[in-house]
Amino acid sequence: MRGAMRVSAFVAVVVLGVLAGSREASANLSAGGLFRVVRCAKNCSGTLFTFGGEIGGGFTTFAFRYGYKSSTHYFFPDFRFSYTFPLPLSLEVTPMLEFTPMITTAKVSGVSVKTLQLILRPGVRVGWSPVDLVSIFVEPFLWDFGFYTKVWASGGGQTASESSKTLVQRYNFGFGAVVRF
């Protein structure tokens, strides 16, 4: 589990380094907050509400979201690649592709359970700018494809782990606001 967190931290540093070093990105930096509802579609269960923040520029963005349900903490470090198409009436459409190493932790009946799931998430964001540097957005279509899952369990002096390549699918609906610098 520590290895997964180290990989996430390394990728975050690389993404932020690319953002800081890019001339185009430095002219288009943005930061904002987002809220997403994550609904299970296949090989998972339930609905999860997540919230977090994002920072990005140019074609890349890093977002971090958190959710809590049934004694389980969910962490979503999202790495997004996107391009925004401006439309008339201060509207914009942003197709995007996110990569997320979702991390969960839970304590169930004295057993500590940790999960790492690698997720690829295509989607689209539609935004409206009421003023020049602010965009209010809705994400009507985001679809999770969890293509690899690793679970660790430890308790009572024993440790076990298991991997799966069963495809997990979730529908996401999100909204939020972004400020551009």
One-character DSSP codes across 28-77: S-EEEEEEEEEEEEESS-SEEEEEEEEEEETTEEEEEEEEEETTEEEEEE
Indicate the pLDDT class of residue 24, thresholds 50, 70 and 90. Answer: very low
Q: pLDDT per residue over 49-64, tens digit each?
A: 999 999 998 899 999 9
Q: pLDDT per residue over 99-134, tens digit each?
A: 999 999 999 888 999 999 999 999 999 999 999 889
Could you tell me if residue 58 is left (phi over 0), alpha (psi between -120 and 50 degrees) or otherwise beta?
A: left
pLDDT at position 4 is: 53
Q: Which helix (H) or strand (E) holds 142?
A: strand 134-155
Contacts of 157 (CB under 8 A, 6+ apart): none
Q: How far apart are CA 139 and CA 65, in angstroms?
A: 15
What is the residue extent of each domain of the chain? Answer: 2-180
8 A C-beta contact, residue 137 and residue 175:
yes
CA geometry: angle 147, 37, 33, nearest 5 deg: 105
User: Domain 2-180 carries which CATH code?
Assistant: 2.40.160.20
